[in-house]
C-alpha cells in the first residue's frame, strides 16, 4: 500500500462541480492499493499517516504528527500511485489491486481513520475527481507498507 501525503493548509475534492470532501490544516493522503495489500497493510499505513512527524513544533522543527496537532485528514483514492513506470513510455497497472479489492480496502482504511482521528474527509472511490490544495511548505512524502 502506498500513500503520498502532503501537509496542507486546506484541500478539497470536487466531483462534477460538487465538493464531496474538504479539510483545513492537515494532511491530504493520496492512497494507492496494490495486489496483496491487506487490512494489516492498511493499519500500518494509517498508523504512519497519523504518527508521521511533519508538522512544526514551537521551534519550527518537524516534530509533531497529525495526531499531535489534531489536524484533519483528506483521503483520496489514486490507483496511479501503484503504476510501474520503470520501462517504456506508458505506465503499467498490473500491480494494482482489483477495483473490488481496492474499494474494500479503501473503505476499511476510511473507517479505521474515522475511528482514530477527529476529522476525516474523503473523495469517492473510482470517481473522476478534481483535487485542489494549498501545500504547506511544500512538505510531501511517499509512505509505503509491505504486504
Structure confidence at residue 147 as a pLDDT band (50, 70, 90): low
The CATH number assigned to the domain holding 102 equals 3.50.80.10
d(CA 46, CA 29) in angstroms, rounded, equals 10
| Residue 143 belongs to a domain | no
| Residue 59 belongs to a domain | yes
| Residue 144 belongs to a domain | no
| 146 has a pLDDT exceeding 90 | no
pLDDT digits 0-9 by tens, 107-144: 999 999 999 999 999 999 999 999 999 999 999 999 99
| Residue 23 belongs to a domain | yes
pLDDT digits 0-9 by tens, 72-112: 999 999 999 999 999 999 999 999 999 999 999 999 999 99
Give the residue from 47, 8, 65, 62 showing the smallest Cα distance to 143.
Answer: 47
| 17 has a pLDDT exceeding 80 | yes
pLDDT digits 0-9 by tens, 25-44: 999 999 999 999 999 999 99
Predicted local distance difference test score (pLDDT) of residue 117: 97
Q: Which residues are catalytic?
A: 78-80
Predicted local distance difference test score (pLDDT) of residue 134: 98
| Residue 29 belongs to a domain | yes
d(CA 87, CA 84) in angstroms, rounded, equals 8
| Residue 132 belongs to a domain | yes
| Residue 45 belongs to a domain | yes
Query: Which domain range does residue 17 map to?
Result: 2-137
Domain count, the chain: 1
Amino acid at each position: 500500500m502506498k500513500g503520498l501525503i502532503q501537509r496542507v493548509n486546506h484541500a478539497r475534492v470536487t466531483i462534477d462541480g460538487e465538493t464531496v470532501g474538504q479539510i483545513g490544516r492537515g494532511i491530504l493522503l493520496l492512497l494507492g492499493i496494490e495486489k496483496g495489500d491487506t487490512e494489516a497493510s492498511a493499519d500500518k499505513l494509517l498508523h504512519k499517516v497519523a504518527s508521521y512527524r511533519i508538522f512544526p513544533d514551537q521551534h519550527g522543527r518537524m516534530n509533531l504528527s497529525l495526531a499531535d496537532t489534531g489536524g484533519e485528514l483528506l483521503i483520496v483514492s489514486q490507483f496511479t500511485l501503484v503504476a510501474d513506470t520503470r520501462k517504456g513510455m506508458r505506465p503499467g497497472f498490473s500491480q494494482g489491486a482489483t477495483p473490488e479489492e481496492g474499494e474494500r480496502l479503501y473503505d476499511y482504511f476510511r473507517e479505521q481513520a474515522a475511528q482514530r482521528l477527529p476529522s476525516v474527509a474523503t473523495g469517492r472511490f473510482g470517481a473522476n475527481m478534481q483535487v485542489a490544495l494549498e501545500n504547506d511548505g511544500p512538505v510531501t512524502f511517499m509512505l509505503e507498507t509491505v504486504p
